[in-house]
């Protein structure tokens, strides 16, 4: 009897966790892979004169749409419910107030240095995200390398701590030994000639650092009992992990294959000074078109155009336009009265957004000063999931460390449990994990802050989680205009949760509106 893709993927996830599931979906073509970038829309100057476009939301999608439309001479008005640009592209600094739905406000009291910030939302840019990098180049946003992986970083799984270096290299060594044994027993004789078998065995010996007997007994690539030094101090490898250790840790979740995921492959980048530098760079040339604290209350058609009713400083106002680009996250949009077509309303209501929660601390940079670890991620099967070390400010005395990033790397249930915790319980677990990674240093963590995206107004989630079958139904419906309404945002792309998806969808909507306006 055959097995459906859904059942197969569920089995993979149960066996190997999120990491195995993600990689399998990538291999099956269910997740995005790099593609050629066509470039920004080419709107001749003045070609949109006389046409008005309303843009709902000043996140990355809304700002890109406004920026490109204004190049063509369109009259653009952007309505943004917050008092800042960027939407989920949100960097937090000393003096900022964090508001969460149903939770107490937090006022951040960190130092106000160049590298003292917390990217509460997006925090990485893959080098093949050409649209976002293109805007950084065009608008003068400097980028720096983001250390997305560090072999010195710690892993805490099944109550045991190891380093990423040991986990990666011991796993590789054990797998190389197992495959070598299989070849030696003739298991691959139908696939390999005698010469090919020897070539593969030789490669596996080097790949896994196997002994002359083609067994894995440990490697200086993994862990030292004595680090290499001067005079009579050769490198001496430490005891290696066993296959059972790897099995009991479920192969450390997503951590061992994280760098191989398409979006996570080096080189990764980040804006100098915080991810919101991109949002503010896009905002600067369009700021005369943006109205902050403008909360949309009703979305409707007016003749062949649109009428948007919104609240601004307690006063109800209306905005009329020829077209509208809607970038509001779908859970928020679903609550706004509209006269969208029934199938569009259904598509909006059907969208599920994923939860995600982060914690950040200010601290002495003990991870660098004491442990010589510069950047990267530490992983755990605790509900906090990730410790994310800063990639900028090396050599400074203090910095901001992300002490938790719970988004489902170690299982979908953990992110829900961590989100539900009180602030104090989130902070306590984050401190506990960091203390386990860096004994005696947990007490140095100060001034914690936390953000959960389902508890953040006007977002209500990290990103959309379209089911496979929705791509041909609900997603396809929203990919088409509903009269004068066009939809954009990361949810209108195959790059969900990435700024690149938001930018590309905005460019698509701008191109579609421009073609329609020229044909009118």
Q: Per-residue pLDDT tens, the chain, 520 aa: give them.
A: 444 555 545 554 554 454 445 444 544 444 554 557 889 999 999 999 999 999 999 999 999 999 999 999 999 999 999 999 999 999 999 999 999 999 999 999 999 988 999 999 999 999 999 999 999 999 999 999 999 999 999 999 999 999 999 999 999 999 999 999 999 999 999 998 889 999 999 999 999 999 999 999 999 999 989 999 999 999 999 999 999 999 999 999 999 999 999 999 999 999 999 999 999 999 999 999 999 999 999 999 999 999 999 999 899 999 999 999 999 999 999 999 999 999 999 999 999 999 999 999 999 999 999 999 999 999 999 999 999 999 999 999 999 999 999 999 888 899 999 999 999 999 999 999 999 999 999 999 999 999 999 999 999 999 999 999 999 999 999 999 999 999 999 999 999 999 999 999 999 999 999 999 999 8
Instruction: List the chain domain ranges.
Output: 1-31, 52-84+290-340+482-519, 91-153+265-276+354-455, 164-248
Using CA atoms, how far apart are residues 271 and 266, in angstroms rounded to an integer?
Answer: 16
Cα 468–Cα 473–Cα 477 angle in degrees, nearest 5:
130
Using CA atoms, how far apart are residues 53 and 75, in angstroms rounded to an integer?
Answer: 6
Instruction: Look at residues 389, 455, 385 and name the one whose alpha carbon lies nearest to residue 415.
Output: 385
Using CA atoms, how far apart are residues 230 and 250, in angstroms rounded to an integer?
Answer: 39
Residues 415 and 429: beta-carbon distance below 8 Å: no
Compute the CA torsion angle 476, 482, 486, 489 (nearest 10 deg). Answer: -40
Using CA atoms, how far apart are residues 326 and 57, in angstroms rounded to an integer?
Answer: 7
For position 7, what pLDDT does the model report? 55
At 313 the three-state DSSP class reads coil
Instruction: Look at residues 325, 326, 286, 262 and name the one whose alpha carbon lies nearest to residue 129.
Output: 262
Instruction: Catalogue the E-assigned strands of 61-127.
Output: 75-79, 91-93, 97-98, 106-107, 117-119, 125-126
Same fold, 91-153+265-276+354-455 and 164-248: no
At 397 the three-state DSSP class reads coil
**Helix 130-139 crosses helix 276-283 at what angle (to 10 degrees)?**
60
Helix, strand and coil content of the chain, in percent to the nearest 5, comes to 35, 20, 40
164-248 has CATH 1.10.443.10 classification: no
Query: In this structure, is the dihedral angle defined by the CA atoms of residues 270, 276, 279 and 285, taken in order, positive or negative?
Result: negative
For position 173, what pLDDT does the model report? 97
For position 28, what pLDDT does the model report? 43
Q: How far is CA 357 from CA 318, 332, 416, 458, 465, in A?
A: 36, 19, 9, 16, 16
Using CA atoms, how far apart are residues 487 and 345, in angstroms rounded to an integer?
Answer: 12
Top-level class of domain 91-153+265-276+354-455: alpha beta
Return the H-helix or E-strand segment holding 213.
none
Instruction: Catalogue the E-assigned strands of 231-293.
Output: 236-237, 268-271, 290-291
Enter the tokens of residue 505. 């969808």
Looking at CATH, the fold of the domain delimited by 52-84+290-340+482-519 is given as: FAD/NAD(P)-binding domain (3.50.50)
Using CA atoms, how far apart are residues 242 and 260, in angstroms rounded to an integer?
Answer: 23
Instruction: Look at residues 351, 344, 355, 356 and name the one whose alpha carbon lies nearest to residue 467.
Output: 351
Using CA atoms, how far apart are residues 119 and 91, in angstroms rounded to an integer?
Answer: 4
Using CA atoms, how far apart are residues 129 and 81, in angstroms rounded to an integer?
Answer: 28
pTM of the model: 0.92
| Maximum pairwise Cα distance, the chain | 86
């Amino acid at each position: 009897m055959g097995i459906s893709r859904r059942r197969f993927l569920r089995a993979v996830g149960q066996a190997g966790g999120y990491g195995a599931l993600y990689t399998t979906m990538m291999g099956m073509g269910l997740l995005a892979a790099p593609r050629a970038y066509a470039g920004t829309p080419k709107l001749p100057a003045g070609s949109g004169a006389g046409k008005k476009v309303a843009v709902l939301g000043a996140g990355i999608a809304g700002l890109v749409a406004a920026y490109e439309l204004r190049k063509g001479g369109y009259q653009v008005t952007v309505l943004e419910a917050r008092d800042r640009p960027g939407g989920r592209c949100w960097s937090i600094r000393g003096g900022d107030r964090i508001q969460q739905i149903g939770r107490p406000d937090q006022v951040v009291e960190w130092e106000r240095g160049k590298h003292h910030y917390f990217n509460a939302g997006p925090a990485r840019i893959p080098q093949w995200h050409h649209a976002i990098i293109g805007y950084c180049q065009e608008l003068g946003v400097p980028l720096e390398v983001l250390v997305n992986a560090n072999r010195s970083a710690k892993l805490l799984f099944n109550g045991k701590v190891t380093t990423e270096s040991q986990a990666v290299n011991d796993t590789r060594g054990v797998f190389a030994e197992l495959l070598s044994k299989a070849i030696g027993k003739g298991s691959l004789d139908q696939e390999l000639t005698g010469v090919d078998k020897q070539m593969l065995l030789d490669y596996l010996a080097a790949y896994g650092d196997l002994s002359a007997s083609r067994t894995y007994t440990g490697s200086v690539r993994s862990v030292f009992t004595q680090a290499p030094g001067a005079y009579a101090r050769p490198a001496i490898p430490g005891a290696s992990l066993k296959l059972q250790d790897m099995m009991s840790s479920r192969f450390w979740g997503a951590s061992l294959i994280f760098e191989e995921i398409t979006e996570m492959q080096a080189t990764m980048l980040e804006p100098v000074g915080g991810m919101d530098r991109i949002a503010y760079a896009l905002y600067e040339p369009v700021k005369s078109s943006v109205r902050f604290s403008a909360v949309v209350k009703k979305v409707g058609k007016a003749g062949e155009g649109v009428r948007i009713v919104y609240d601004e400083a307690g006063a109800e106002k209306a905005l009329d336009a020829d077209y509208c680009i809607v970038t509001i996250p779908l859970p928020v949009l679903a609550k706004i009265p509209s006269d969208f077509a029934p199938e569009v309303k259904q598509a909006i209501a059907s969208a599920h957004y994923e939860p995600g929660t982060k914690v950040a601390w200010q601290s002495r940079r003990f991870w660098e000063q004491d442990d010589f670890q510069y950047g990267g991620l530490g992983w755990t099967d605790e509900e906090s999931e990730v410790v994310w070390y800063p990639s900028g400010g090396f050599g400074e005395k203090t910095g901001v460390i992300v002490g938790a990033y719970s988004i489902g790397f170690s299982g979908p249930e953990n992110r829900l449990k961590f989100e539900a915790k009180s602030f104090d319980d989130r902070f306590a677990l984050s401190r506990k994990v960091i203390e386990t990674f860096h004994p005696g240093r947990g007490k140095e963590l100060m001034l914690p802050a936390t953000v959960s995206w389902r508890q953040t107004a006007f977002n209500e989630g990290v990103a959309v989680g379209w089911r496979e079958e929705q791509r041909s139904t609900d997603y396809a419906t929203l990919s088409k205009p509903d009269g004068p309404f066009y939809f954009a945002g990361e949810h209108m792309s195959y790059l969900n949760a990435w700024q690149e998806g938001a930018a590309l969808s905005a460019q698509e909507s701008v191109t579609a509106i421009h073609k329609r306006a020229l044909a009118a």
